[in-house]
């Protein structure tokens, strides 16, 4: 695996000097300042590469930009409205510009409206640090009583509606605002200017777009961009839905192994690959991460390694919907088994002479601990918590690949 680090750009809380000290081998970044749908120009890409390539004192950092995460897919493309054709043409131009700059891997997602969703961005853990949490009852309270979405009541079992109402009644006005702000953090451009009206407007645009329709639109997009990727020697990899189940009545089509198989089979070439995010997929008990790596591994072009702890479901049900982000080695996914599968996949690629036998991975999320607490950065991307996660994952990698004791 190539150990990489997600870096949000020059305003990010960590510098290249910090990254070098953490021991990472590559950088994952994106041109977040360019509006979705516009072209990433060769100049903008080169500027980002230069920044990544230098330490504060001007010496080379030894790091390069390995993965574009995300080259975002516009809402117009997902819905096939407005400027979607032009956005696809621009997407291909951005791919060409990235390829000319030496990048080969592009991560993106096809989630309508919300990229990722949590109800709490700083949930207090027993050790005093914090993590992100998704609480199904709080989410239902937002959907039913704050957003007041038409038809929301039909999407939750009666006991969830009842508990959500109880919680809503006990919430202060401040708690209601904070819940709404947390949930809409994953809305494009809405982190600062969010309004409930914006959310309703975004949701209304998906009225009449079923799962099948969204999947068909996704396949149309892939049929356009994957031949370009093949021509350029690039690998595209779709990130799963996070969380991997339906929210706010929106269609979701990348939540399970079966979903992935449909999309991979629709355009059945290696360039049409996946980002295996163990944290997103791990929020569902029926996603078997080591098994998915074993079965889909040849098309995994990027790895997000993190873990979640799912709440116990009451009343014998197998779905509670609630989870929090756990330590990297402690949670629903057996990280040792997953890493062993990744190492096997890399070995078989190497034996087959595949140039992409070293899969880029990044330690994803982690707990806010020590100096992370109180620092304002990107939610879910603490420096020390991620560094701790990387160190732990690196330990597993060492053992699994050890010539005497490894697999
Ligand atoms: C969350 C991230 C996602 C991911 C996008 C990829 O922390 O993993 O926001 O970057 O879904 O398009």
Instruction: Give per-residue pLDDT as tens, 197-245.
Output: 888 999 999 999 999 999 999 999 999 999 999 999 999 999 999 999 9
Q: Domains (ranges, CATH) in the chain?
A: 2-116+210-400 (3.20.20.150)
Mean pLDDT of the chain, nearest integer:
95
The whole-number average pLDDT for the span 315-337 is 89
Whether the CB of 69 sits within 6 Å of ligand 1? yes
Statement: residue 289 has pLDDT above 70: yes
Contact 208, 64 (CB under 8 A): no
Measure 166 CA to ligand 1 centroid, in angstroms. Answer: 32
In angstroms, the CA 184 to CA 118 distance is 9
The whole-number average pLDDT for the span 330-337 is 96
pLDDT at 195: 81
The model's confidence at residue 316, banded by pLDDT at 50, 70 and 90, is low
What are the two backbone dihedrals, phi and then psi, of residue 3, each rounded to the nearest 5 degrees? -85, 110
Pocket perturbation via mutation, ligand 1, pick of 4, 9, 12, 69 by most ligand atoms within 8 A of CB: 69
pLDDT at 198: 87
Q: What is the pLDDT of residues 41-95, one digit of tens each?
A: 999 999 999 999 999 999 999 999 999 999 999 999 999 999 999 999 999 999 9
Measure CA of the first residue to CA of the last residue in the chain; give whole Å: 15
402 is catalytic: no
Contact 293, 339 (CB under 8 A): no
277 is catalytic: yes
pLDDT at 277: 98
Whether the CB of 104 sits within 6 Å of ligand 1? no
- What SS3 state is found at 97? helix
304 is catalytic: yes
Q: 377: which 2 tokens?
A: 């950065």
pLDDT at 188: 53
The model's confidence at residue 189, banded by pLDDT at 50, 70 and 90, is very low
Contact 263, 215 (CB under 8 A): yes
Residues of the chain above pLDDT 90, percent: 90
pLDDT at 313: 80
In angstroms, the CA 210 to CA 198 distance is 21
């Amino acid at each position: 695996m190539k150990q990489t680090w997600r870096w949000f750009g020059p305003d990010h809380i960590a510098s290249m000097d910090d990254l070098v000290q953490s021991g990472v081998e590559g950088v994952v970044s994106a041109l977040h300042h360019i509006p979705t749908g516009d072209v990433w120009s060769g100049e903008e890409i080169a500027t980002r590469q230069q920044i990544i390539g230098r330490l504060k004192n001007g010496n080379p950092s030894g790091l390069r930009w390995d993965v574009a995460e995300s080259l975002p897919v516009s809402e117009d493309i997902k819905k096939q409205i407005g400027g979607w054709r032009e956005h696809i043409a621009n997407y291909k131009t951005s791919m060409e510009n990235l390829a000319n700059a030496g990048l080969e891997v592009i991560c993106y997602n096809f989630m309508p409206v919300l990229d990722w969703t949590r109800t709490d961005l700083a949930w207090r853990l027993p050790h005093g640090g914090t993590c992100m949490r998704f609480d199904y009852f709080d989410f239902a309270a937002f959907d039913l009583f704050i957003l007041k979405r038409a038809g929301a009541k039909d999407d939750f079992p009666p006991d969830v509606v009842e508990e959500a109402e109880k919680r809503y009644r006990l919430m202060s006005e401040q708690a209601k605002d904070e819940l709404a702000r947390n949930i809409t953090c994953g809305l494009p451009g809405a982190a600062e200017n969010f309004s409930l009206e914006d959310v309703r407007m975004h949701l209304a645009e998906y009225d009449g777009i079923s799962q099948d329709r969204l999947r068909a639109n996704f396949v149309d997009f892939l049929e356009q961009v994957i031949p370009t990727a093949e021509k350029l020697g690039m690998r595209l990899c779709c990130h799963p839905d996070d969380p991997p189940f339906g929210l706010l009545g929106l269609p979701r089509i990348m939540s399970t192994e079966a979903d992935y198989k449909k999309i991979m089979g629709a355009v059945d070439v290696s360039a049409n690959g996946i980002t295996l995010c163990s944290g997103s997929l791990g929020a569902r008990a029926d996603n078997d991460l080591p098994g998915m790596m074993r079965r889909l591994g040849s098309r995994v072009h990027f790895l997000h390694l993190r873990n979640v702890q799912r709440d116990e479901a009451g009343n014998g049900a197998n779905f509670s919907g609630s989870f929090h982000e756990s330590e990297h080695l402690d949670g629903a996914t057996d990280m040792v088994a997953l890493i062993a599968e990744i190492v096997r996949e890399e070995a078989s690629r190497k034996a087959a002479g595949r140039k992409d036998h070293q899969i880029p991975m990044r330690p994803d999320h982690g707990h806010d601990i020590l100096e992370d607490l109180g620092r304002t950065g990107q939610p879910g991307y603490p420096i020390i918590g991620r560094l701790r996660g990387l160190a732990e994952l690196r330990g597993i990698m060492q053992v699994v690949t050890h010539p005497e004791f490894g697999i």
